[in-house]
């Protein structure tokens, strides 16, 4: 939970249509000898997504004056900071942040949308 907003948690074995790519493509993420961003979410990628969300919540709680209430400005700052901290790891080892993009972006106030550079971190 982030204020009154629920965040999704993905289980290993989930089918990941949003982030699955062909293993022969340039955007295939291979780590530890196997493709990480295939059609089925593996243990490492599921743990990464859970850690990302935990870091987002902790960052939000440290920024927001009243973490029990949802504050869009604090959320946006926490999201950008968290993305900056983990996007390279995702690019090199997981390729799964796109799974959360639609939900996380939709939580931003429409008047205060993420800029192109921040969206590229997904």
CA–CA distance, 38 with 106 (Å, rounded to integer): 25
% of the chain at pLDDT higher than 70:
100
Does the pLDDT at position 122 exceed 90? yes
Average pLDDT over residues 74-85: 97
Residue 71 CB coordination number (10 Å): 18
CA–CA distance, 109 with 68 (Å, rounded to integer): 17
Q: What is the pTM of this model?
A: 0.86
CA–CA distance, 48 with 89 (Å, rounded to integer): 9
Q: What pLDDT sits at residue 33?
A: 86
Average pLDDT over residues 50-58: 97
Give the single-character DSSP code of 115: P
Chain-wide mean pLDDT for the chain?
92
Average pLDDT over residues 70-88: 96
- Tokens matching residue 69: 């209430």
Contact call for residues 72 and 106 (beta carbons, < 8 A): no
């Amino acid at each position: 939970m982030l204020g009154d907003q629920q965040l999704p948690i993905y289980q290993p074995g989930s089918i990941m249509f949003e982030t699955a790519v062909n293993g022969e493509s340039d955007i295939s993420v291979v780590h530890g000898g196997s493709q990480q961003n295939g059609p089925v979410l593996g243990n490492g990628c599921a743990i990464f997504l859970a850690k990302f969300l935990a870091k987002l919540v902790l960052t939000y709680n440290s920024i927001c004056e009243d973490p029990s209430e949802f504050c869009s400005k604090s959320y946006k700052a926490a999201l950008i900071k968290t993305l900056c901290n983990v996007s390279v790891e995702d690019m090199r080892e997981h390729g799964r942040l796109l799974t959360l993009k639609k939900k996380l972006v939709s939580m931003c106030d429409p008047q205060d949308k993420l800029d192109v550079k921040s969206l590229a971190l997904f």
